[in-house]
Structure 1
């Protein structure tokens, strides 16, 4: 408890899945959390749950691919809380995983990159001036083991997640003089609602677990503990690196 006391955090894609769990657990550690997503009803539900359990949470409907909406989110956070200590760029989509590469459209490819990668840049761009003014901050960009190794069918997704990894490294070097840390977090297979929408999901799940030395999928809470660590002062000498939480999948 209180590992993030008096910290203010923005978490995108927080209406469900890993983002919702991250928001709840950051709030339990003392952070004031601002949840954003495009799904207002779910956002409201998660926010109310946090507040009912004694946390401090707010929400704003937010399309992460829209720079004007990012500016609006930041303005709201500053109005309510006065500062931004933590940004968790969590929002993402899978894109088309069912069609052969030659049948996928450039528009679909660019959509995945814009939501999964460009949004991280926009988010960082939006909060960095305030973090510079405060002389520090922590940015956690959620990537994937798909940003470490390739996978058939997910070319746009893996390209976007690999981009997140190197975007984080570049930003970490640029922002280090301002005591702003930037790290990427790479979950392995987690049984989330987003994953359940994949074609042939049960086959994919079985294959993912078979390829994981710990012989199971991860839990959303296990990923959130990594976010807490990277967001907190416990990781104050970490920047520009990858935290891989995958049960050993990429070690094989």
Structure 2
């Protein structure tokens, strides 16, 4: 394991060849994503280092956890991270663009019971890195919407998701209303929304969203990450305690 590897409680992540380093968004989504339906098949769109897929492998006994990554270096690193984990036999990474993957897979009879994505966008990080070995510069964490427009993401999800499946994502809060309206055009409706603040006094920065094909009452909540610098709230610690070494 290299010095730049990020060590979690049950797995480690090599990330020296990935433009998208480990950040708060990915860990939040991987820990928050609903497993209430006990999915047997999971797809992580834009896996990067493989972080979210690995978190779900730790949390879920799902036999099939597929990941998708278009960048060649990130793809190769995700594969290595999968192979070095305890769940390598359940994790598989595809090297392809999402539109190509959808074209190839949309006619398959078996659909994914959980689809998850930390989609590309550019937004300042919620909190500073938890480790000197993680993100050293905000520029390294830049993510560009054009790489996977929300319309392409939601449209593809609607073709790959099981009729009773769930789609989980994290987006900038300012995009929430438009994202939900767009999802409704593809027959996907919010079931759960958690809005995230860095501190109690800061504005809402992120929205964690859980969609299904069934219209239902929406469970809404708010999550505050820090009380003060590196002094984390009980709610945040409870959410991520199974992953971070220091929590």
TM-score by length of 2: 0.49
Q: Which has the higher helix share?
A: 1
TM-score (norm 1): 0.48
Relative to total residues, which structure has the larger strand share, 1 or 2? 2
